[in-house]
Amino acid sequence: MSAGVEGAARAADGCEIAYTLHRGTGQAAPRLALIHSLALDRRFWDGVVAELGGEAEILAYDCRGHGRSGRPAGPYTTALFADDLAALFDHLGWTAATVAGCSMGGCVAQAFGARHTARTVALGLIDTTAWYGEKAPAEWRERAAKAQAEGLSGLAAFQATRWFGDAFRAARPEVVEATTAIFLANDLDAYAATCAMLGDADLRPGLGALCMPVAVVVGEEDYATTPAMARAIHEAVPGSTLTVLPGARHLTPVETPAAIAAQIRGLLRGTRAAAA
């Protein structure tokens, strides 16, 4: 995997968005933007980027409130996060790209596809949902309040079991530790604002208008955004595909990067063929 070129762009409100751009091989390399999960950062995608090699020009970035991007006060919305990605496209001179997101990133990808349809070549919606349910606003704010009162360390063990299956945690403790370290480095106020965003998010009204190729992917053991939630997206998006990854849990791009790269590769090839 190439180290990539690091940079930063300014969102419409001045928030700095930090990114890494991995160059593709050849002038016709397709473009791919990757959006990470809640409380993590662009390193989330390292395994997938390595699997794809130079097959695409790949943008991985830190969402606002995360990583090395700015951490302005909330409220945050999925529309705001989607517009941040559009600003990154403008900064890079990208007209359009395939967009893939996991968990929170999948919510942002849905919002981007609905708000910036002409700039969305295809969508990869991974371990995500269009709506967390009626109780979500209260439940997500409760999680945020617990973190603000007790710190993120009290949530770390719980998060690890949600993120990764038992076998993976036993076999790859160094990955679990590295992911947990990123989680613990979060700004508590930004984390709380992002939790509220997810609790309030309802992307269902825009699903029927997603006319680009859409691949919905979920881990078989994902109990954060369940296979049933993935199927609800699939059934609402005309022509979408649904893939359930056996034995995987919530962060499949980290747990099964080859499988996720294969799904994204299929989107890239499909859109190339359509453009030929």
Q: Is the pLDDT of residue 102 over 70?
A: yes
Tokens of 176: 């679990």
CA-nearest of 249, 41, 247, 235 to 126 is 249
- Assign residue 128 a region (left: φ > 0; alpha: ψ between -120 and 50; beta: otherwise): beta
Q: What is the pLDDT of residues 47-58, one digit of tens each?
A: 999 999 889 999
Enclosing domain of residue 118: 5-130+204-275
**Does residue 18 lie within any of the structural domains?**
yes
Question: What is the helix (H) or strand (E) element at residue 33, kind and residue range?
Answer: strand 31-35
**pTM of the shown model:** 0.96
**Does residue 171 lie within any of the structural domains?**
no
**Does residue 49 lie within any of the structural domains?**
yes
Is 103 strand, coil or helix? coil
**Does residue 260 lie within any of the structural domains?**
yes
Residue 2's pLDDT is what?
Answer: 57
Q: What angle do CA 33, 52, 119 make, to 5 degrees?
A: 25
Q: Is the pLDDT of residue 275 over 50?
A: no
CA-nearest of 132, 128, 153 to 141 is 132
CB count within 10 Å of CB 237 equals: 26
Residue 3's pLDDT is what?
Answer: 74
**Does residue 142 lie within any of the structural domains?**
no
**Does residue 153 lie within any of the structural domains?**
no
Q: Is the pLDDT of residue 24 over 90?
A: no
CA distance 160 to 14: 34
Contacts of 106 (CB under 8 A, 6+ apart): 35, 125, 126, 127, 128, 129, 225
Contact between 219 and 245 (Cβ < 8 Å): yes
Q: What is the pLDDT of residues 164-213, one digit of tens each?
A: 999 999 999 999 999 999 999 999 999 999 999 999 999 999 999 999 99
Contacts of 152 (CB under 8 A, 6+ apart): 39, 183, 184, 186, 188, 191
**Does residue 180 lie within any of the structural domains?**
no
- Assign residue 251 a region (left: φ > 0; alpha: ψ between -120 and 50; beta: otherwise): beta
Contact between 268 and 48 (Cβ < 8 Å): no
**Does residue 176 lie within any of the structural domains?**
no
Domain count within the chain? 1
CA distance 153 to 164: 17
Task: Pick the more confident residue, 132 or 154.
Answer: 132
Banded model confidence at residue 248, pLDDT cuts 50, 70, 90: very high
Banded model confidence at residue 274, pLDDT cuts 50, 70, 90: very low
CATH at 107: 3.40.50.1820
CA distance 84 to 64: 8
Q: Give the total residue count for the chain.
A: 276
